[in-house]
Amino acid sequence: MNDEEKTIPKSFTETIQLVKQFAIKEIIKETNQKKLYYHTVDHAYAVERRALIIFQALELNQENFQGLKNIGRIKGLIQLSAITHDLVQEYIRSDELYAPRRRPLGLSEMTTINKLFAYINKLNQKLDSSVGFTKQDLKIISQAIRATICNYDSKQDSIYQPLLYQSRPKISVVARIIGLADLGALGMEGIEAYLRESGLIFLEENLDLVPLLLSNDLDSPTQLIALQNKEEIRKRLLKAARFLVNFAKGREARLHQEIQDFTAASRLILQNQVFKYLNPKTIQTIEEQTPTADNTTLAELLNYFQFPKYVAR
Q: Where are the domains of the chain?
A: 8-310
Instruction: Give the C-alpha distances (Å, rounded to integers) separating 207 from 37, 156, 214.
Output: 10, 26, 11
The residue-averaged pLDDT of 260-289 equals 98
The C-alpha atoms of residue 280 and residue 268 are separated, in whole angstroms, by 17
Q: Is 286 a residue whose pLDDT tops 60? A: yes
Give the end-to-end CA distance of the chain in Å, rounded to a whole number: 36
- Confirm if 50 and 266 have CB atoms less than 8 A apart: no
Predicted pLDDT at 136: 96
The C-alpha atoms of residue 281 and residue 75 are separated, in whole angstroms, by 33
The C-alpha atoms of residue 151 and residue 270 are separated, in whole angstroms, by 24
Tens digit of pLDDT for each residue in 102-111? 999 999 999 9
Residue 220: pLDDT band with limits 50, 70, 90? low
3 state DSSP class of 92: strand
Find the angle CA(172)-CA(36)-CA(207) to the nearest 5 degrees: 130
Residue 230: pLDDT band with limits 50, 70, 90? confident
The C-alpha atoms of residue 35 and residue 58 are separated, in whole angstroms, by 36
Number of other CB atoms surrounding residue 279 within 10 Å: 14
- Confirm if 80 and 141 have CB atoms less than 8 A apart: yes
Which residues are within 8 A (CB) of 207 and not within 5 positions of it... i.e. 6 or more apart?
35, 101
- pTM, 2 dp: 0.94
Tens digit of pLDDT for each residue in 27-81? 999 999 999 999 999 999 999 999 999 999 999 999 999 878 899 999 999 999 9
CATH T-level assignment (fold) for domain 8-310: Catalytic domain of cyclic nucleotide phosphodiesterase 4b2b (1.10.1300)
The C-alpha atoms of residue 289 and residue 156 are separated, in whole angstroms, by 20
The C-alpha atoms of residue 312 and residue 236 are separated, in whole angstroms, by 23
Predicted pLDDT at 219: 57
